[in-house]
Amino acid sequence: MTPDTPASAPRLALFDLDHTLLPIDSDFEWGEFTTRIGWTDAQEFGRRNAEFFAHYQAGTLDIRAYVRFATEAVRQQGPEAAAAAHAQFMREVIAPAIRPQALELLRQHQQAGDHVLIITATNEFVTRPIAQALGVGELLATELERDTQGWFTGNVLGEPNMREGKVRRMEQWLAQRQWGWGDVHSTFYSDSTNDIPLLEKVNTPVATNPDARLRELAVQRGWRILDLFSATP
């Protein structure tokens, strides 16, 4: 964990997205949504989507293979249809999943003057409008490669924003501002053991709506546990 930093240091509030700020997995739900609107075969897509999701939960996901799979329907439909579908997805799936307690937590950090970032393994196509809906201007997501016409190729651009990749992407973000970990006070909220590398790096790790393995680890290490969506706070 990063050593204590001076009280005057810039403060960062980092948030995972799926099952942390949202009580759903936006990547998985986007896949289910594409089936509902007829872009994918329900049986075959559902089977593969569930397999990838199980690998994610187990910490064994091949994110490059998943991104090729998850963006296939979008790539086939083209930019205009994809944008219209995502707007429908935001209305029907994401907006009902945005909880006031998540918005309040974000606003507390923003009003305190913290640098608030969402840092997620889910790709930028799915997550950028979600970050905007949550009122967060800075997003570090898995970036997508584009072809000469500016449309997605199905490949990841650069390093996937997952596991140790989140740490390296954050270090790039810090370096752009001529900061290192020791120059800032950082808090990271996450639900998943996939995020242990970044949870171990920050000053204040917060296991948020944690899965069973992360909850157990948080108890062992004395990390704060926040059940943001609990019926009884």
What span, in angstroms and rounded, lies between the C-alpha atoms of 218 and 112?
A: 26
Is there a catalytic annotation at residue 183?
Answer: no
Q: Which two tokens stand for residue 95?
A: 């907006």
Cα angle value 71/99/169 (rounded, 5°): 45
Choose, from 4, 18, 114, 183, the residue flagged as catalytic: 18
Sign of CA dihedral 75, 81, 86, 89: negative
Contact 197, 166 (CB under 8 A): yes
Is there a catalytic annotation at residue 18?
Answer: yes
Q: Is 120 helix (H, G, I), strand (E, B) or coil?
A: strand
What span, in angstroms and rounded, lies between the C-alpha atoms of 205 and 118?
A: 15
Residues identified as active-site: 16, 18
